[in-house]
């Protein structure tokens, strides 16, 4: 079973509209972190926003907010007032504690290709 599911392979949105990118996750851990990264056509991975499993408030970073619904295991990214420069791949990812202690790698979803149209 996939640990991170992004159900929207691609999305077209008009400039200045708000966008919601879906992400659901699967974990049995109580402590975990959820992340969103942006990958523009230039290829770099840009960190956007983070939500900890114990955080009661939804994370916000500028035009980005994370709609965290723990009971539903969803962590949707909301981009307000979209801009042409928001066109990119967006990846949802989760980080769980390593079973032997120490750090663990990120598990990524398959991504959503967002295209902002003028």
Partner 1 sequence: DTAVSQTPKYLVTQMGNDKSIKCEQNLGHDTMYWYKQDSKKFLKIMFSYNNKELIINETVPNRFSPKSPDKAHLNLHINSLELGDSAVYFCASSPLISTDTQYFGPGTRLTVL
* Binding residues vs partner 1 (CB under 8 A): 31-33, 35, 37, 39, 43-45, 47, 50, 52-53, 89, 91, 93, 95-98, 100, 102-108, 110-111
* Residue 11 near residue 52, CB atoms below 8 Å: no
How far is it, in rounded angstroms, from Cα 90 to Cα 36?
Answer: 7
CB of residue 6 to partner 1, shortest distance in Å? 11
**How near is the Cβ of 78 to partner 1 at its closest, in Å?**
19
Q: In angstroms, give the least distance from the CB of 72 to partner 1.
A: 20
- Closer by beta carbon to partner 1, 63 or else 97: 97
Q: Which is nearer to partner 1, 57 or 118 (CB)?
A: 57
Residue in the structure block whose two tokens are 């965290």: 68
Encoded tokens for 95: 């980080």
Question: What number of residues does the chain have?
Answer: 118
Nearer to partner 1, 16 or 98 (CB): 98
The dihedrals phi and psi of 111, each to the nearest 5 degrees, come to 95, 160
3-state secondary structure of 95: strand
């Amino acid at each position: 079973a996939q640990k991170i599911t992004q159900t929207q392979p691609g999305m077209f949105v008009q400039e200045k509209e708000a966008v919601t990118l879906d992400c659901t996750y699967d974990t049995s851990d109580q402590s975990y972190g959820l992340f969103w990264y942006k990958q523009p056509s230039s290829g770099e991975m840009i960190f956007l926003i983070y939500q900890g499993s114990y955080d009661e408030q939804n994370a916000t970073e500028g035009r980005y907010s994370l709609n965290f619904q723990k009971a539903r295991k969803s962590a949707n990214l909301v981009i307000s007032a979209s801009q042409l420069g928001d066109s990119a791949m967006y990846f949802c990812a989760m980080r769980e504690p390593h079973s032997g202690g120490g750090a663990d790698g990120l598990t990524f979803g398959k991504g959503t290709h967002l295209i902002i149209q003028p």
